[in-house]
Chain A
Amino acid sequence: AQTVTQSQPEMSVQEAETVTLSCTYDTSENNYYLFWYKQPPSRQMILVIRQEAYKQQNATENRFSVNFQKAAKSFSLKISDSQLGDTAMYFCASLNYGGSQGNLIFGKGTKLSVKP
Chain B
Amino acid sequence: EPEVTQTPSHQVTQMGQEVILRCVPISNHLYFYWYRQILGQKVEFLVSFYNNEISEKSEIFDDQFSVERPDGSNFTLKIRSTKLEDSAMYFCASSRRRGGLDEQFFGPGTRLTVL
Q: Which residues of B contact A93 (CB under 8 A)?
A: 43
Residue B65, interface by CB 8 Å? no
B7 partner residues in chain A, CB cutoff 8 A? none
Is B90 close to A, CB under 8 A?
Answer: no
Residues of A within 8 A of B56 (CB): 100-101, 103
Contact check, A97 vs B100: say whether CB atoms are below 8 A apart: yes
Size range of the chain A interface in the assembly: 20 to 34
Flag if B108 contacts A101 (CB, 8 Å).
no
Which residue on A lies nearest to B43, using beta carbons? A106
Residue of B nearest to A46 (CB): B106
Q: Select B45's contact among A35, A52, A103, beta carbons within 8 Å.
A: A103
CB <8 Å contact, B48 and A43:
no
Interface residues on B, range: 20 to 34
Q: Please state if A104 and B104 are interface contacts (CB–CB under 8 Å).
A: yes
B33 touches A102 (CB 8 A): yes
Q: Is B75 on the interface with A (CB-CB < 8 A)?
A: no
- Indicate whether A44 sits within 8 Å of B109 (C-beta atoms), given known contacts A101-B48, A105-B45: yes
Report the separation of the CA atoms of residues A11 and B103 in the bound assembly, to the nearest whole angstrom. 26
Residue of B with least CB distance to A91: B43
A64 is an interface residue with CB less than 8 A from chain B:
no
Contact across chains for A103 and B50 when beta carbons are under 8 A apart: no
A105 to chain B: closest residue by CB = B45
Which residues of B (22-80) have their CB < 8 Å from a CB of A? Answer: 31, 33, 35, 41-45, 48, 50, 55-56, 58
- Of all A-B residue pairs in the complex, the 8 with the closest CB atoms, nearest first, are A102-B99, A33-B100, A101-B55, A103-B45, A106-B43, A45-B106, A44-B108, A101-B48
* Residues of chain B having any CB pair with chain A under 8 Å: 3-4, 31, 33, 35, 41-45, 48, 50, 55-56, 58, 91, 95, 98-100, 103-104, 106-109
In the complex, 15 of the A-B residue pairs with CB atoms within 8 angstroms, ordered by the A residue number, are A32-B100, A33-B99, A33-B100, A42-B108, A43-B108, A45-B106, A46-B106, A47-B104, A93-B43, A95-B99, A101-B55, A103-B33, A103-B48, A103-B99, A109-B43
